[in-house]
Amino acid sequence: MTTTAFQARTAYARDAILSATPAQLVVMLYDRLELDLQRAELAQAEERWADASQPLRHAQDIITELQLSLRLDVWDDAEKLFAIYTYVRNALVAANVSHDIERTREAARLIAPLASAWRTAAEEVGQLSAQQRLEQQGGLGVA
């Protein structure tokens, strides 16, 4: 049986998700969220409302997933982030229902600094983990 390019890409994506750290998974969600918002904005700018609807709905699903992953009992500012997510999700619903490109742009502007912060945090956690592994192995990777 010949593996198609689609099957190979799907397998690669699945493996990337399964091997990702929690921080990397959040970054992946933000990456896809930003992509969805870009696609929706492009479709809205061209007045292709049906084409804008799917990425807007998917972006809402991602926001919901981000909300569900928040540990309100662990982090003092989690409620503030939850409120931002709620505002963005409501903006995306309004953008979809009323064909309002400005609401999509507003959502993208609010998400961009959050995505950047998560990327930075995930990178720092990754560097710290790599340094800890080196230290556990004697500094040179040799036990």
* pLDDT values of the chain reduced to their tens digit, one per residue, 143 residues: 567 877 766 665 565 555 568 888 999 999 999 999 999 999 999 999 999 999 999 999 999 999 999 999 998 899 999 999 999 999 999 999 999 999 999 999 999 999 999 999 998 887 766 556 555 555 544 44
* Euclidean distance between the first and the last CA atom of the chain, given in angstroms as a whole number: 43
CA quadruple 24, 27, 31, 36: dihedral sign: positive
Instruction: In whole angstroms, give the CA distance from residue 93 to residue 53.
Output: 9
- The pLDDT of residue 22: 82
Give the residue among 58, 16, 37, 47 at the shortest CA–CA distance from 106: 37
Instruction: In whole angstroms, give the CA distance from residue 53 to residue 104.
Output: 11
